Homo-oligomer: A and B are copies of this chain.
C-alpha cells in the first residue's frame, strides 16, 4: 500500500509535471495550500525529528521558506550573503551606505524617521500571500497613492496636470463616439432606443456642449481656485486629443492604472517596505546568518552540501532562493538543462534616484503622494504617500524602468551618478519651478550594479507575462524543477510577475515540494 502511494506520486510527478503532483497529493491527503488559500498556507507536519533544510538567501522567498519550514518542524539554516536581510526589499535610512559594482560608494543622509524604498514600494491589494504575512505579524499597512490627478505629466516639454490629460482624453473619446453616432455610423451596434439613451449619456460622460464638442469642465481642475463669497473658480480650456496624447511616450501613463497590479487600492507597510521581511525574520527561531555568500552547491548522498564563507553546511534539503543573476555564477552539480536555463534569464536593471526635501509639492502645488510622468530620462517621479502634511519627505526623483522611454533603463544606467541626479533634479524643477534647489541628500541606485541582485527581477515573456491563457515556456518550467533535494524559489518562479508576492508564492511551492519529498521518503521507508 505504501509503496503504491509512492509509485503514484512519482509516476504522476515524472510524466505530468509538478501541477499534477500537487493534484495527486491532494487526492492522497497530503495537500498543501493552493494559491486560493495561500494566506492560510501551512505545510503538513515534518516527519520524524524534522529533516534539515538549508535556505539560501534571506529575501522574501528565503524568509517565507524558512518560516513555513520551521513552523512545520523542519530544522532550518538560513544563509545570507549581505550584511542585512530583505534582499531587493531594501529600505534605506539614515546614513546607509550604497555599494555598487564599478561605482564609487555613496552614503545616504536622510533625517531621522525618513526612508527610501529603493526596491519595491507598492503592495497591490490582491497580493494576499505577502499581505497575509503582514497581517499575521502585525505589520501596519497604509495606502500607497498610485494615482494622483494633481500630479503633472511632462511630455514634449509641456507640463500639464495628469487629471487634465486623463479626463480630457476620455472626453475626446466620448466626443468621437458621439460624432460617429450622430453620423449614423453606429446605428447597428444597439437598438435605436438604447442608442439614443447612450448618446445622451455621452453628453454627460464626456461633458459635451450643444454642438457635440467638449466644453470646459471643472473635472480639469481649476485655473483659479474657488473661494468664499464672490470668488467663483476659473476653468481650463479642454485639451485636444493630440494634446492629451502628445506622443507614444505618453501611452503608458494613460493605461498605467489599468495594469492589474497597479490598480487601487495599493498599499505600503508603515515605516518602510522591509518591515514585512523583518517581521517574518523576527518570527524565525534560527535567524539568518549574515555575510555568508555561498561558494558551492553540491549534492552529497541523499542530501546537500553548501559551501559558504565561514564553512560548510550539510542538510537533507536545500531551498535555493537566490536571483538567477547570482545563482548562475555559483559552482554546482545542477543538470546541464538547469545550468543553461539559469544563465538565460533576463533581469531588469531599473534605477531610482531619491532626495530629501521640504514638502513643497504638497504646500505649494497640492500634490500629496502619487506619480508624475515624463519623457525625460528620469521617466517617473514618486511623491511620498505617508507623513502627509509633515515638514520633510523623501521624493523619488527618478524611477527608470522603460516606462516612457524604450532606451531605458540602459541609457540612464550608463550615465554617471552625478548626471543621474542632475537630470532628476532638472525634471523636478520643470514640474515645480523654482523648487529644484530644495532637493537635498541625493542617492542613486542602479539595481543592475547592486551586488547579489544585479537587477530587480526577471522580465520577458517567460517571466512577467500575464497574458490571458498564455502558459510560460520551457525555460521557466525548467527553473521550477528540483535538482534532487534542492528546490528553487524567487520572484522569477511565479505567474504573479515582478513582485514580492511572486517570491512568497514561489516559496510556498518550493517548500511544498520538500514536504512532498519528505513524505515520499517516509512512504519509501514505511
A residues engaging B (CB < 8 A)? 17-19, 34-36, 38-39, 125-126, 128, 131, 134-135, 139-143, 145, 147-150, 163, 167, 170, 173-174, 176-177, 179-180, 183, 185-186, 189-190, 194, 198, 201, 204-205, 215-219, 221-222, 224-233, 235, 241-242, 245, 251, 254-255, 258-260, 263-265, 267, 363, 366-370, 385-390, 466-472, 477, 480, 489, 493-497, 502, 505-510
In the assembled complex, the CB of A93 is this many whole angstroms from the nearest CB of chain B, namely 20
User: Bound state CA distance, A141 and B242, in angstroms?
Assistant: 37
Please tell me which one of the listed residues B34, B215, B470 contacts residue A232 in the complex, with CB atoms under 8 A apart: B470
Please tell me which one of the listed residues B19, B173, B180, B205 contacts residue A174 in the complex, with CB atoms under 8 A apart: B173
User: Bound state CA distance, A163 and B147, in angstroms?
Assistant: 14
Closest 10 CB pairs of A and B: A35-B227, A185-B185, A180-B180, A226-B495, A228-B505, A228-B506, A228-B509, A141-B388, A143-B143, A229-B509
User: Bound state CA distance, A143 and B218, in angstroms?
Assistant: 22
- For the complex with contacts A17-B230, A228-B505, A235-B468, 16 further pairs of A-B residues with Cβ separation under 8 Å are A35-B224, A131-B389, A140-B388, A142-B142, A143-B388, A150-B264, A179-B180, A180-B180, A185-B185, A204-B251, A218-B260, A226-B496, A226-B505, A228-B489, A229-B509, A265-B368
In the assembled complex, the CB of A269 is this many whole angstroms from the nearest CB of chain B, namely 9
Q: Do A265 and B229 touch across chains, with their CB atoms under 8 A apart?
A: no
Q: Do B466 and A226 touch across chains, with their CB atoms under 8 A apart?
A: yes
In the assembled complex, the CB of A26 is this many whole angstroms from the nearest CB of chain B, namely 14
User: Bound state CA distance, A242 and B195, in angstroms?
Assistant: 11
With a CB–CB cut-off of 8 A, which chain B residues contact A167? 258
Please tell me which one of the listed residues B126, B189, B230, B366 contacts residue A366 in the complex, with CB atoms under 8 A apart: B126
User: Bound state CA distance, A506 and B470, in angstroms?
Assistant: 58
Which single residue of chain B is at the shortest CB-CB distance from A149?
B263
Q: Do B177 and A263 touch across chains, with their CB atoms under 8 A apart?
A: no
In this complex, the member of A134, A229, A388, A493 whose beta carbon has the largest number of chain B beta carbons within 10 angstroms is: A229
Q: Do A145 and B143 touch across chains, with their CB atoms under 8 A apart?
A: yes
User: Bound state CA distance, A118 and B368, in angstroms?
Assistant: 24
In this complex, the member of A388, A470, A472 whose beta carbon has the largest number of chain B beta carbons within 10 angstroms is: A388
User: Bound state CA distance, A390 and B166, in angstroms?
Assistant: 34
User: Bound state CA distance, A440 and B471, in angstroms?
Assistant: 45
In this complex, the member of A134, A217, A366, A472 whose beta carbon has the largest number of chain B beta carbons within 10 angstroms is: A366
